[in-house]
Structure 1
Amino acid sequence: MAQPHALFNEALLLLGGAVVAAPLFKRLGLGTVLGYLAAGIVIGPVLALISGGDDILSVAELGVVFLLFIIGLELKPARLWQMRRDIFALGSVQVLVSGAVLSALAYYLGLLDWRGSLVAGFGLALSSTAFALQILEDRGDLNTPYGQRAFSILLFQDLAIVPLLAMTAFIAPGGDEGGFSLASAGIAIGAVIGLVLIGRYLLTPLFQIIGRTGAREAMIAAALFVVLGAAALMEVAGLSMAMGAFLAGLMLAESSYRHELEADIEPFRGILLGLFFMAVGLSLQLQVVSENWLIIVLAVPLILLVKTVAIYVLYRLAGSSHNNALKGAFLLSQGGEFGFVLFTAAAGAGIFPQSTASLLIAIVTVTMALTPVFAAIPALIAKPEEREEIEEDFEGAGADVFMVGFSRFGQIASQILLAGGRSVTVIDQSADRIRQASRFGFRIYFGDGTRKDVLIAAGIEKAKIIAICTQKKEITDRIVDLVQSEYPNARIFVRSYDRLHALELRSKAVEYELRETLESGLLFGQRALEALGVPESDAVLVTEDIRKRDEARLELQASEGITAGREMLYNHPVQPEPLVKPRQEAAE
């Protein structure tokens, strides 16, 4: 076991490699994935600064777990049901066709016996969820038609690892045919049903309780507990950890806490996924590569070619355009991390020697390393076409208006917007308010509007107008400052607390501000005048005159100071502002 200072040094090396390689490769247009991979290869196999890449890889696989949780958060069960054809039809055909062709090639070329060929072929048919989804996220293509179809195939592959492991135990020399029993299948199904029930009936109340405490660290701890707990439950049941995390995210996709959870998990996901790519590079066995370089040189392009052609044909048969089929085919042509699991299990079962497993793992690693470059090829050979419109999967993001705060003011304003046919995304930090609003059919999300990551997760970048309707002046100012610093061209509408606050906001050049009590006070006074016998037309003129003079005075005070504009009130003192009779010409 490594000493504490050794662990510290290894962590320092990995962080340093990530800091140098990721921005460099991003700047060169090669993508951060290839940067992390290159850093791992240099630190591990080349310079031998870190050993034990497999141990780091087992921990870094949590990055894939967190990634699948976030993907689940961004999907709705209804949307997943719409994708069932791609998941179970397209995904299963891809695994069967690619696996059968690769198995046949390995067997008829005399490389392995029928058992080894079967395991190798179907193991190589799996693609890398981590690499493919990271590239889709970097490009912003995850919600495009080809990206959704690629995700469907990857999701089925995660499911396929279970029967493939069962097949490995079944065909092993002296294997136990009862390795995949009805009992094990029942446990797996029961675990899925149990997780669904927990997500549906327990998770939202849990986050409501924690949200009312206002303890952010408790919310983060709860988010990590849910992800890791769901992953552990699925692993115990014989399914993949990533599948458990995905199901947990899916169960929370309709929750008001979705955006807050995504923002809390995202830093862990980013760090661990980068570590995963570096660990793949660390685990590359250069000795195996050098001893079998000819086999690898021949096998890698053959595998890439077979999978590319198979996936392209399946995309086209499913109705995708030529360009989308090319993108999906080149994106999913590599081997995947689940291949490591399958080949290791096969070696342990005696289907082929450990040296063969190491060679297959090296081949998969090389195909993964080529993924960023290979996935860029469609841009060079695709036919010119109009830019594809992105279809968003999650409710709220991309709305016309992004509203922060859902107290009485925000509730009234949102009703006007919704009645006018505009879409509104609302976030609020009050768990009680969210629960109460849901009873009346409002859809709002739990989130801290002073956090940039929460705003991004909730879709602020796609909004046409940002409405800040928070109650506390200091919170409003923090959000205004944050939005203006990060999105200088944003159109900001703000609820101001009082006259002084309105002047402060105007000095910050927000597009529109309104004191929370101005219009209600004006209307109240107008109705009181009418009740005292003033004709409605005269009362309206009085109200309008007060409104105009108040606005003119505000503009003057904004430019000359708070004491300016007294003459506009006919020499009355500034505080309190009196109600005065309108000018004669206005009354006429």
Structure 2
Amino acid sequence: MAGELDTSSMGDALVILGAAGLVIPVFTRFRITPVIGFILIGIAVGPFGLGKLVFDAPWLSYVTITDPEALEPYAEFGIILLLFTIGLELSFKRLWQMRKLVFGLGALELLIIGSMLAIALAMMGQYWTGALALGFALAFSSTAIVLPISGTSSPVGRAALSMLLFEDIMIVPIIFILGAMAPNAQGEGWEGMITTLWQGGLVVAALLVIGRVALPRLFAQAARTKSPELFLAASLLVVIGASLATSVVGLSPIVGALIAGLLIAETEYHGEVEGIMEPFKGLALGIFLITVGMSIDLTTIWSNWWPILVAVVSVLTFKAFVTGSLLRMMGARRSTAAETGILMASPSETTLIVLAAASSAMLIQPGTAQFWQIVTAIGLTITPLLARLGRVIARRVEPAPELEDVDHTTPPVIIIGAGRVGRLIAQMLDAHGKPYIAIDADADLIESAKRKGYRATFGDAARGDAMTRLGVDRSPAVVLTMDEPVLAERLTRKLRKEHPDLLIVARARDTEHAAQLYRAGASHAVPETLESSLQLSEAVLVDIGVAMGPVIASIHEKRDEFRAQIEEKGALDYKPKLRTSTAES
């Protein structure tokens, strides 16, 4: 018995690891997202694919998934890790800045789409409780697939993130409401929801307090050991512990994972944690996508292709129209609204959870649930294609400013970011006769900068050949001005790897972030908090009667002192890693 179980588990592991080893490099080579590859693998090796032939050809059991339900915990863990890494890319400050989008745009998108789909389904003959369940289930969009495609820093990514965050928050209330509407609920669902909400509030508050105190100390101890294994163990401990804490009181585990990520994002160790967790997130997400593929029965699709096609097209078109319209009403560009609407059109992995809850509560029939599960699986499969379609339509609706090749006799300084800080640097370079070019992925900023006479061009410095076309190989310096710590570190690391001799000057949020940028390869990292403190000191000293000359000299001395400390801290933290990766290994 144990031997059979071990063989089954080993066969499943072989399929999963083989899929990851084949799908990712093959699809990446042809510039196709691996999402489609994992789903196709799931279709092929699932119970409706080659799994049907196991009885006639027993050897197929070694290359098929013998127990799809056994993979579900791993798939759920992939979603948890995804939300954790999203939290790492955010911060409480940035989340607070997005509150209007999350609770404004996000709430409107979910409520309008859910209620209007429910009305349409009720008019088609579905009982009103089942129509509500289906409407809100289909209103969800896929966090697991959309965010890796859109990112979180572009206008499309920010809009998608705000809507997806609200949807993730609303999962638990919606599932409880469905339970309360069940024919045999008798009000217990409402009582359960109230209990979960106040207990969940206490748990979230406890996580915030304990996390702010304990996490810096935990990761500091792990960092002192210089052991990647211990750092990984600490990261997994935090994300699993926070997820369990929220799930115990009835909240979704992804809420705990998101909070854990936000808390670690406030520490100096978030870059290291993100790098360590990335491979595990990708593999677990691949398992989730394989389980989605295994739920697709091609025979059922073939026999019901017309109603399924109508349902898929109707849901996608309606969601894209409503989402795009809401974004336009809130001031988004036509291109951003069109691309975001189409990207957010397909249903979600959460749709499958809500459908299961509605079926368990006897609000919809099993056959109805199966039909919409197939629609959802197809929607998830074609999400990468929708993303590509959205980009094409966005360019047709409102062509973005094109990235032009820059041809200067003297190579320009490249300023990444055309906001307030980037423009001030451009003014200083211009005042001293030094050529520059600013690049930003926000088309509105670029248009505003051009109107005011700045030399700026549209492009995403983190992707494609944008920096090459700007002449980074000849540029005397690159200046990073964005107020996004994770993105700044990634770009610094990428630029240093590709251009070892390039002068890289980076804006840092504080001294800890500056040290991280030095570790990533920055030539100079300038912390905002330090410079503002020095300027305040200069102002007060001069105004109380101290001579300007000694004040300026002391300011320069203090600046050099702090900079030396930051550079030393970055070097000390970085050198052990170099030894580990070379001599010790």
1:300 has 2:312 as partner: yes
- Equivalent residue number for residue 394 of structure 1: 484
Correspondence 1:204 to 2:216:
yes
Contact 2:76 2:288 in 1 (8 A): yes
Larger Rg: 1
Shift in Å at residue 27 of structure 1? 3.1
The within-5 A match list for 1:217-296 is 217-296=229-308
Match of 2:140? 126
The equivalent residue for 2:50 is 47
- Say which SS state the counterpart of residue 423 (structure 1) adopts: strand
Aligned 8 A contact 1:347 1:353 in 2: yes
Residue 124 of structure 2 corresponds to which residue in structure 1?
109
The SS at the match of 1:361 is helix
* In 1: Cα distance, 2:401 partner to 2:283 partner: 35
Q: Distance in 1 between matches of 2:576 and 2:207?
A: 38
Q: Does the alignment pair 1:423 with 2:506?
A: yes
Question: Is residue 178 of structure 2 the alignment partner of residue 158 of structure 1?
Answer: no
Question: How far apart in 2 are the matches of 1:61 and 1:118?
Answer: 25
Query: Distance in 2 between the 1:160 and 1:63 partners?
Result: 20
- How far apart, CA to CA, are the structure 2 residues paired with 1:299 and 1:401? 42
Shift of 1:480: 11
* Residue 322 (structure 2) pairs with residue 310 (structure 1): yes
CA distance in 2, matches of 1:249, 1:299: 37
Aligned letter for 1:53?
P
Cα deviation code 1:304-331 (max 9, x no counterpart): 0110001001111121101111111111
* Number of the residue aligned with 1:381: 393
In 2: Cα distance, 1:33 partner to 1:8 partner: 24
For residues 444 and 479 of structure 1, do their structure 2 counterparts lie closer, same or farther at Cα, with a shift above 3 Å needed?
farther
Greater displacement, 375-384 / 100-109: 375-384
Which residue in the other structure is 2:26 paired with?
A: 24
Instruction: Name the aligned partner's letter for residue 77 of structure 1.
Output: F
Deviation at 1:256, TM superposition (A): 1.1
Kindly state the Cα deviation for residue 343 of structure 1 after the two structures are TM-superposed. 1.1
1:93 corresponds to 2:108: yes
Aligned equivalents of 1:154, 1:340: Cα separation in 2: 16
User: Which residue in the other structure is 1:337 paired with?
Assistant: 349
| 1:149 CA drift (Å) | 1.2
Q: Does 1:83 align with 2:95?
A: no
Identify if the C-alpha distance between structure 1 residues 51 and 117 changes in structure 2 by more than 3 Å, giving closer, same or farther: farther
Matched residues in 1 for 2:175 and 2:233: separation?
33
For residues 7 and 83 of structure 1, the distance between their equivalents in structure 2, rounded to whole angstroms, comes to: 44
CA contact (8 A) 1:289 1:359 kept: no
Structure 1 residue 83, shift from structure 2 partner: 0.2
Q: Deviations over 1:410-444 (max 9, x none)?
A: xxxxxxx9xxx953669xxxxxxxxxxx9xx6545
Q: Cα gap change, 1:324/1:218 in structure 2, threshold over 3 Å: closer, same or farther? A: same
**Range with greater deviation from structure 2 (264-273 or 22-31):** 22-31
Cα offset, 1:152, TM superposition? 0.8
- The alignment covers a number of residue pairs equal to 438
Once the two structures are TM-superposed, the CA of residue 399 in structure 1 deviates from its matched residue by: 6.8
AA in 1 matched with 2:50: L
Between the aligned residues of both structures, percent identity stands at 31
CA contact (8 A) 1:256 1:444 kept: no
CA distance in 2, matches of 1:422, 1:442: 16
- 2:182 corresponds to: 172
In the alignment, is the contact (CA less than 8 A) between 1:170 and 1:176 conserved in 2? yes
Change (3 A) 1:477 1:312: closer
CA offset digits 1:98-130 (Å, max 9, x no partner): 1111111111112x2111111001100001110
Cα separation, 1, equivalents of 2:166 and 2:392: 29
Name 1:508's counterpart in structure 2: none
* CA shift in 2, pair 1:459/1:23, >3 Å: farther
Using a 3 Å threshold, how does the CA distance of structure 1 residues 361 and 52 change in structure 2: closer, same or farther? farther
Distance 2:490 2:179 in 1: 54
Give the secondary structure class of the aligned counterpart of 2:217: helix
Query: Residue deviations 1:349-371, cap 9 Å, x none?
Result: 11122222222211111111111
Do 2:196 and 2:251's aligned partners in 1 also have CA atoms closer than 8 Å? Answer: no
Q: For residue 398 of structure 1, give the secondary structure of its aligned residue in structure 2.
A: helix
Hey, what's the Cα distance between the residues in 2 that align with 1:198 and 1:284?
A: 43
**SS of the counterpart of 2:488?**
coil
- Counterpart Cα distance in 2 of 1:31 and 1:400: 21
CA distance in 2, matches of 1:277, 1:478: 38
Residue in 2 that maps onto 1:321: 333
| Aligned 8 A contact 2:180 2:189 in 1 | yes
Cα distance in structure 1, aligned partners of 2:220 and 2:575? 25
SS of corresponding position for 1:196: helix
Instruction: Work out the CA distance in 2 between the residues paired with 1:472 and 1:86.
Output: 38
Report the Cα distance in structure 2 between the residues aligned to 1:385 and 1:159, rounded to whole angstroms: 33
Q: Structure 2 matches for 1:428-577, cutoff 5 A? A: 442-443=512-513, 455=520, 470=571
Measure how far apart 1:51 and its partner are: 3.9
Opposite residue 89 of structure 1, the aligned amino acid is G
TM-score by length of 2: 0.69
Q: Structure 2 CA distance, aligned partners of 1:471 and 1:134? A: 33
Is the 8 Å Cα contact of residues 347 and 380 (structure 2) preserved in structure 1? yes
RMSD over aligned CA atoms reads: 3.3
Structure 1 51/285 Cα, relative in aligned 2: closer, same or farther at 3 Å?
Answer: farther
Change (3 A) 1:51 1:303: farther
Q: Which moved more, 1:388-397 or 1:348-357?
A: 388-397
How does 1:175-186 map onto structure 2 within 5 Å?
175-181=185-191, 182-186=194-198
8 A contact 1:40–1:282 mirrored in 2: yes
Distance 1:302 1:213, change over 3 A: same
Aligned partner letter, 1:61 = E
User: Is the 8 Å Cα contact of residues 489 and 516 (structure 2) preserved in structure 1?
Assistant: no
Q: Is the 8 A contact 1:69 1:249 kept in 2?
A: yes
Distance 2:160 2:522 in 1: 23
Question: Alpha-carbon deviation of 1:230?
Answer: 0.9
Higher relative CO (Cα under 8 Å, sequence separation at least 6) belongs to: 1
* TM-score (normalised: structure 1): 0.68
The amino acid that maps onto 1:152 is: S
Opposite residue 398 of structure 1, the aligned amino acid is A
The 1:184–1:211 alpha-carbon spacing in structure 2 relative to 1, beyond 3 Å, is same
Residues 288 and 448 from structure 1, CA distance in 2 versus in 1: closer, same or farther, beyond 3 angstroms? Answer: farther
SS of aligned partner of 2:268: coil
Distance in structure 2 (CA, Å) of the matches to 1:255 and 1:443: 9
CA shift at 1:21, angstroms?
2.7
Q: What is the CA–CA distance in structure 2 between the aligned matches of 1:76 and 1:91, rounded to whole Å?
A: 19
